[in-house]
A and B are shown apart, each in its own frame.
Chain A
Amino acid sequence: MSGSAHKFFSCLGLAAGLAGCSSDGGTTVSVSRADVVKTYSANLAQGYADSVADENAFKDVIAAFLDKPTEATLADARISWLASRAHYMLTEGGRFYGGPIDAAPNNYEALVNSWPLDEAYIDYTTDANGKVDETSGIVNKPSLLKDITAEGLDMINTMGGDTNVSDGYHAVEFLLWGQALSDVGPGERPARDYDLKGMRKNPDRRAQYLKVAVDGIITNLTAVRDAWAPGADYRVTFEGNPDTALANAFTGLAKFSKGELGSQRLGAAYMSKERHDQHDCFSSETLVDYDRDAHGIQAMYLGKYGDNDGPGLNDLVHAADPAIDKKLTAMIQASIDAIDAIPTPFEASIAGDDNSPGRVAIKTALDALFAQGDEFGAAAAALGLMITVDAPTP
């Protein structure tokens, strides 16, 4: 990647507003920046709408589980939890530019998908010697939160530390699976943790917690969905400033590829070899998330979402610099392939020496995502968007 200093503060706006042309299936299609931005926002809006719908469906399954907590209904809830995140993961490339998902002061993202989390902030924990501490966490400590409500959980989320996570998908994940106590595989929380006749204290507070945590996800995602709805202020402003919108879109994809998916979701675990440094450490479904994340990046770049297929960022990049588009398109596919090549479960793959197949595969994927993040920067620069990219090349 080019060095940044010489263009760091230069204003490369020359291409702004010019139409791009792409060669698509033999016909040349003229694409405007405004149309690309409209595709982007429509797809992201649909992603959040689908995420709200997913969570509402999940809410019914949780209600059934809490109504009758058995191993069978818990199994249903776990399957449904994984399904409930299918669309949200596709939206994560829309972070990191202060949009509705993560703008201060609400920062809904921190409320819905914070990880990793300190288990002892939520519920009882079992230590390495098998000793259980039933005094810990919001479930067992009314002093942390007297009445467990969705608003209350939002209030104390990350209070006193980034991993004091009280709500969101991963809090729900922990409430369904419990701590993962073995080296490999998911947690094995028994359904009777929610049974008044079970062996753990405060099943009623635990049940209330699970219920309102799901409610909170719905409320917070709904706010994000509504901010992106057609005609909503944010959406109108976003679409009204195509260059800023495009810079934001590339910012999100670049930062999510490199800083989040590459660095934090793969790189940190690669360095620490700690099974807790993975996205879904309780359910052991991490690689499902990463695959969805990577496909979400690809879809955003191509202007696709489900059956929607409009003019994409790729069309603009192709018009500006076909070589960059070709390279970036290939890199995005390569990062998906690299993630899909990581053997499951993730926690087994991070272990061992650097020549083990799992670690080689993870290193390949994280290198691909780092390079991809830089290339999104190059693509933005090709569009004349003021952007600086660091280039961690040896």
Chain B
Amino acid sequence: MIKTRGFAFLLLAASGCSGGGAPKPDALASADPKSGGEATTLDATSDAYSNSIDRLDDTQAGQFSYGHSVFSQNWVTAPATTSGMDGLGPIYNAHACSSCHSKDGRSAPVDDNGVFVGMLLRLSIPGMAATGGPNPDPVYGDQLRPYGILGVPGDGTPHVAYQETPGTYGDGTAFSLQTPTYTIDGWNYGLPPKDLMISPRTGPSVIGLGLLEAVPEDEILANVHDPDANGVHGVPNHVWDAAQQATVLGRFGWKANQPTTLQQTAGAFLGDIGITSSLFPNGTCTPTMTKCLAAPSGGDPDFELTDSRWQSVGFYMKALAVPARRDLDDPVALQGEKLFDSFGCASCHIPTLHTGPDAAADVLTNQTIHPYTDLLLHDMGPDLGDGRPDFEATGSQWRTTPLWGIGLLQTVNQHSFLLHDGRARGLAEAILWHGGEAATARDNFRLAKQSDRDALLKFLGSL
């Protein structure tokens, strides 16, 4: 640690006294430190994303321990002496969950040399799969896997180039946004079709997933409405649930294209690491990838990720607590919270949701939580669009990203890259990239005086 990195069960006081549990009568409804309700941790150190929720029973504590271990460890080429963790690839993006979710947090897109470290490129061609999802490329499937085990070529090499575009705030202060352009070269299995669609995605933080999973569908769908005065109207995605073999509400992923934490997990094991599971027992080598097909499997005997590991990793993520909101006595941050609402940010980044009675653990049930998301899709405009449909999400729709814990990104992950492809260097750029339904809110920020902009950022930094 892996472990060296200090995950822990205990929720410890790292900050000073933050006032009583109940908001003051004149406080905003969301002026509440307990972002995750009872599933909140006070840890604001570099381990802030790695704390368990409270009151795990014996079985759950075991799953959490094991899940953390599996989440952190590299998978290796089969057949290995580490027989439980072999079966990497044969083609893959990463060796471990933690490769792209370091310390349970968010990854930077590329390293100093431009090598993709925490970002992958989803691929598809026009049309729709039988599930209603993206139509995979017949050779390269639905994502680019740059790496292969010894003797097996990866798909190809992704590149990103950034071009600076200057802009100004309302007060004349200059800023610059970097626009990414994605290319792929070194195709090892032939050139793809010209109409190949690409969508870049970084690995998001994995905190609070058990809470989001416990928000009843009715509560999410209650926020679906006709466009308001600013044109804001969230819509749900409906996606394929492989376990139920049915189309259901989507709530996870950059486009709300996954229904459950467990399916997201099994999907990432298969797509990103090349690890088969009982949910997705078939590998990702396609018929022309002869060396890939000939490589040994780590399956024992049928698939590589045992159900015990899968369930443990899934539970682990569902049981990761949410960091408490800080700076509740800071008038600037509180002013920023009001601006968050008045600018219109809160129209989509809804401060408060509630969990229902069904959840993976007791403390996740019936909680008032502050994820700052509606879990719905919104049109974010052409500048952020990827042009690649994903179930019912269009090429310019994205799911509202939860903002809880975002103020600790630098502390935990040592970077501040935001948005689906990490193009934004910090919170201000992320806001300035917002378009489409969020254009009015963005301009309210852009045109505000500096002290108001700073207050908004201070508020976000307190989450």
Q: Residues of A with Cβ closer than 8 Å to B?
A: 3-5, 8-11, 13, 95-98, 102-105, 107, 109-110, 113-116, 118-121, 125-129, 133, 135-136, 158-164, 179-181, 247, 250-251, 254-255, 258-260, 262-265, 267-268, 270-274, 276-277, 370, 373, 377, 385-394
Which residues of the partner chain A approach B4 to less than 8 Å between Cβ atoms? Answer: 102, 107, 109-110, 113-115
Which residues of the partner chain B approach A110 to less than 8 Å between Cβ atoms? Answer: 1, 4-5
Q: Mark B18-49, 1 if CB is under 8 A from A, else 0.
A: 11110000000000011000101110011100
Residue of A nearest to B47 (CB): A96
CB distance from B99 to the nearest CB of A (A): 4
Question: Is the Cβ of B2 less than 8 Å from the Cβ of A9?
Answer: no
Q: Mark B282-324, 1 if CB is under 8 A from A, else 0.
A: 0000000000000000000000000011001000000000001
Which residues of the partner chain B approach A373 to less than 8 Å between Cβ atoms? Answer: 9-10
Known A160-B95, A268-B66: A9·B54 in contact at CB below 8 Å: no
Question: Is the Cβ of A255 less than 8 Å from the Cβ of B9?
Answer: yes
Which residues of the partner chain A approach B99 to less than 8 Å between Cβ atoms? Answer: 160-162
User: Is B223 an interface position by the 8 A CB rule?
Assistant: no
User: Is B72 an interface position by the 8 A CB rule?
Assistant: yes
Known A258-B8, A259-B9: A271·B62 in contact at CB below 8 Å: yes
Question: Is the Cβ of B11 less than 8 Å from the Cβ of A388?
Answer: yes
Residue of A nearest to B52 (CB): A390
User: Is B65 an interface position by the 8 A CB rule?
Assistant: yes
Cα A95 to Cα B9 in complex, Å, equals 14
CB distance from A318 to the nearest CB of B (A): 22
Cα A115 to Cα B324 in complex, Å, equals 29
Residue of A nearest to B18 (CB): A9
Count of A-B residue pairs with CB < 8 Å = 239
Question: Is the Cβ of A264 less than 8 Å from the Cβ of B3?
Answer: yes
Which residues of the partner chain A approach B411 to less than 8 Å between Cβ atoms? Answer: 104
For the complex, would chain A's binding face be called helix, strand, loop or mixed by DSSP majority?
loop
User: Is B264 an interface position by the 8 A CB rule?
Assistant: no
Question: Is the Cβ of B62 less than 8 Å from the Cβ of A179?
Answer: no
Of the 9-residue stretches B74-82, B157-165, B440-448, which lies at the interface with chain A? B74-82
Known A3-B55, A135-B150, A163-B73: A179·B12 in contact at CB below 8 Å: no
Which residues of the partner chain A approach B78 to less than 8 Å between Cβ atoms? Answer: 127-128
Question: Is the Cβ of A120 less than 8 Å from the Cβ of B8?
Answer: no
Q: Name the residue in A8, A110, A385, A386 with the highest tally of chain B Cβ atoms < 10 Å from its Cβ.
A: A8
Which residues of the partner chain A approach B82 to less than 8 Å between Cβ atoms? Answer: 274, 276
User: Is B239 an interface position by the 8 A CB rule?
Assistant: no
Residue of A nearest to B308 (CB): A271
Q: Which 9 A-B pairs have the closest CB atoms?
A: A259-B8, A268-B69, A267-B65, A128-B79, A11-B17, A255-B8, A386-B13, A271-B66, A263-B65
Residue of A nearest to B309 (CB): A272
Which of B9, B74, B80, B83 contacts A390 (CB under 8 A)?
B9
Known A260-B3, A263-B61: A164·B95 in contact at CB below 8 Å: yes
Q: Residues of B with Cβ closer than 8 Å to A?
A: 1-14, 17-21, 33-34, 38, 40-42, 45-47, 52-58, 60-66, 68-70, 72-74, 76-86, 94-96, 98-99, 102, 111, 117, 150, 308-309, 312, 324, 411, 414
Could you list some 30 contacts between A and B, CB below 8 A? A8-B38, A10-B21, A104-B414, A110-B1, A115-B2, A119-B76, A161-B95, A162-B74, A162-B98, A162-B99, A163-B2, A255-B6, A255-B9, A258-B9, A258-B10, A259-B8, A263-B64, A264-B3, A272-B66, A272-B69, A386-B17, A387-B13, A388-B42, A389-B10, A390-B10, A390-B11, A390-B53, A390-B55, A392-B60, A392-B61
Which residues of the partner chain B approach A386 to less than 8 Å between Cβ atoms? Answer: 13, 17, 42
Given contact pairs A160-B99, A161-B94, A263-B68, a sample of 9 additional A-B residue pairs in the complex whose CB atoms are under 8 Å apart = A102-B5, A118-B73, A118-B74, A163-B98, A259-B8, A271-B65, A388-B13, A391-B55, A392-B55
Which of B38, B65, B74, B81 contacts A264 (CB under 8 A)?
B65
Question: Is the Cβ of A260 less than 8 Å from the Cβ of B8?
Answer: yes
Which residues of the partner chain B approach A103 to less than 8 Å between Cβ atoms? Answer: 46
Cα A10 to Cα B7 in complex, Å, equals 24
CB distance from B327 to the nearest CB of A (A): 14
Cα A386 to Cα B13 in complex, Å, equals 6
Which residues of the partner chain A approach B2 to less than 8 Å between Cβ atoms? Answer: 114-116, 162-163, 264
Which of A8, A115, A274 contacts B84 (CB under 8 A)?
A274
